[in-house]
Amino acid sequence: MTTTLETVMGTSGPGLELAAPRLTREQFLVLHRAMVRTRKLDERGMKLQRQGRIGFYVPSFGEEAAQIGSAAALDAADWISPSYRQPGTALWRGVKPVEMLDNCFGNAGDAAKGRQMPVHYTFRSRNFISIGSPIGTQIAHAAGVAMAMKIRGDGHVCLTYLGDGATSSNDFHTGLNFGGVFKAPCVFICINNQYAISLCVTGQTTSVSIADKAVAYGMPGRRVDGNDVLAVYSATKDAVDAARRGEGPTLLELFSFRMGPHSSSDDPSRYRPKAMEEEWAAKDPIQRFEKWLIANGHADAAALAAVHAAAEEEMSEAAKESETKPAPAKDSLFDDVFAERPAGLLKQRTALLAEGDAHAADMNAAFPL
């Protein structure tokens, strides 16, 4: 049974302590900055929703190490098939915060032209697959993408993320079974944050660990301290390298905690013990990494504080810029449907434009969630 947490920075419980990855001081600081930017983007998104400026947001408070440590182990040409709780992976890939907030505002700058849910990003130029709401669908997509990579022989890897709740989905079985049978170059990362909305993981599965599930699919399974960015990086790098060598997929369980609500529509105090939240707040992955950086002479408190201030300013400016953009043009509804618009669609477009501002009030309708 896979019960031991792999860690670099140490853990308060039983754990397998690994050596720190051989990264430079600058690389350590880049990881830290990416984690802080992820936190500040989430804080800004939640503030915008609470102020009524956007309709919905999904934060990832407490999961910054799991996101950044894993994304950093990929090459730029590799693909990411995310769920809706990995904004840091998009930032790591070079996506600008304003591009992500454009999706949250649903404005003319949004790559999805306002048609998607907020926090459901798509960035084709960054090899970042469109996010979907149904739980687990990205797992099967990743296995298929990885298999295409294997057939083409391009040497790339596809990494996908899922939560503990998604291990109960049909697509979890389908994706891991397919990936295991055909040795697709895929890395399956389960961020076990212990709650699928309101259901605790102990009500989700009787497996001792999520990593144990790998055995049934004929692949390695590793349980890693998900709040330890260095342990996450090391384990993911091993899994990515193995996939690239043709050895097939790995299932990584990153044990962490969702410090915030499931979404802006959720109140976790109704189902989660306050003592548990306080316990995990003391394990904040950013604060933990900052203590390690200072202890190992990579940074001082003033330098780290400056990173937080810069990220706060960056997200504030991104929000201001995004909020000024207009709504998508009405006739953009007819874009990206057919390569050549059929007569019926052209007729509908003409009729809509002829209505003018008849439906302008609908633009201010309350968001349904």
Active site members? 258, 262, 271
At 5, which helix (H) or strand (E)? strand 5-7
Query: CB atoms < 10 A from the CB of 60, how many?
Result: 27
Closest to 147 measured CA to CA, from 26, 249, 289, 28? 249
**What distance in Å separates the CA atoms of residue 176 and residue 158, rounded to the nearest whole number?**
13
Contact (Cβ atoms closer than 8 angstroms) between residue 84 and residue 58: yes
**What distance in Å separates the CA atoms of residue 35 and residue 68, rounded to the nearest whole number?**
6
Measured in degrees and rounded to the nearest 5, phi and psi for residue 194 equal 80, -5
Q: Is 105 exposed, middle or buried (0-12, 13-18, 19+ CB in 10 A)?
A: buried
**What distance in Å separates the CA atoms of residue 119 and residue 137, rounded to the nearest whole number?**
16
